[in-house]
Amino acid sequence: MTGIAVSAWLAAGYGAVLVLVAYAIDRMARRAQTRLQEQRTPGFVYHEDHDAWLCPEDQWLWPRSFDPDNRVMRYRGSPSVCNSCPVKESCTSSADGREMRRMVDTWPASESARFHRGIACAVTVAAVAWPLASVLAEDGWAARGFLLGVSLALVVASLPLWAHLRRTPADPHGVLVQTVDQNLEVRTSDADALARRRTRYASDRKVVRDV
């Protein structure tokens, strides 16, 4: 474009490249975390409705403890079941049962994800600052307006990284941890409450009288 120096184009291009680098950092960190989780849980399937893992031998691993420092929920299989499992040697060397871990925070709320997202956001700051600083070095109004417009566009392009990070803070209060017995007690209580509600219907009362 006429009136815009090569230096202005270079500053704009450098800022755009930095924004792309920021998104690449976030994407690679997300993929690395997903790949690491898959490597740690080969053949194991997490069932959210049970809050438990099902191993390849159709045995359940129930929640045992929560690590507040690393934001990790720990699950463990029954020692008696794991020690008699035919594939124990290839699964775990522990005599206390196989342990599984699950990050309780979704991306990017986990501490690791927030660290990498913070790096990506810092890169976007440099991406916007570069063309803004170049405005002072340009003499023509056309070049200055061009760099200001590029800076605004880079800010808009960077907002998803900042907004998502702000909307998903790490939970400082931890999570509720229940043992197997506590889970069974809660489910039994819910079933009893449902049965009591059902007896309010005329059809249910009729069945009770007939019996």
- Tell me the per-residue pLDDT of 62-113, one tens digit each, with 9 for 90 and over: 998 888 777 788 999 999 999 999 999 888 888 999 998 887 766 555 666 7
1 occurs within a structural domain? no
- Helices 111-135 and 141-167: crossing angle in degrees, nearest 10, is 170
Query: Are residue 46 and residue 34 in the same domain, yes or no?
Result: yes
- Taking the C-alpha atoms of residue 200 and residue 211, their distance in angstroms, rounded to an integer, is 17
Q: Are 105 and 71 in contact (CB under 8 A)?
A: yes
How many structural domains is the chain composed of?
Answer: 2
Query: Are residue 38 and residue 140 in the same domain, yes or no?
Result: yes
**What pLDDT, in 10s, does the model give residues 53-62?**
999 889 899 9
Query: Are residue 154 and residue 207 in the same domain, yes or no?
Result: no
Query: Are residue 96 and residue 191 in the same domain, yes or no?
Result: no
Q: Tell me the two tokens of residue 25.
A: 């950092």
Q: Say what the pTM is.
A: 0.55
The residue to which tokens 């916007």 are assigned: 128
178 vs 59 pLDDT, higher one: 59
Query: Are residue 156 and residue 119 in the same domain, yes or no?
Result: yes
Runs of H (alpha helix) within 48-179: 79-83, 88-91, 111-135, 141-167
Containing structural domain, residue 185:
179-211
77 occurs within a structural domain? yes
Query: Are residue 146 and residue 187 in the same domain, yes or no?
Result: no
pLDDT at residue 177 greater than cutoff 60:
no
Residue 199's pLDDT is what? 46
Query: Are residue 92 and residue 114 in the same domain, yes or no?
Result: yes
Q: Tell me the two tokens of residue 115.
A: 């660290």
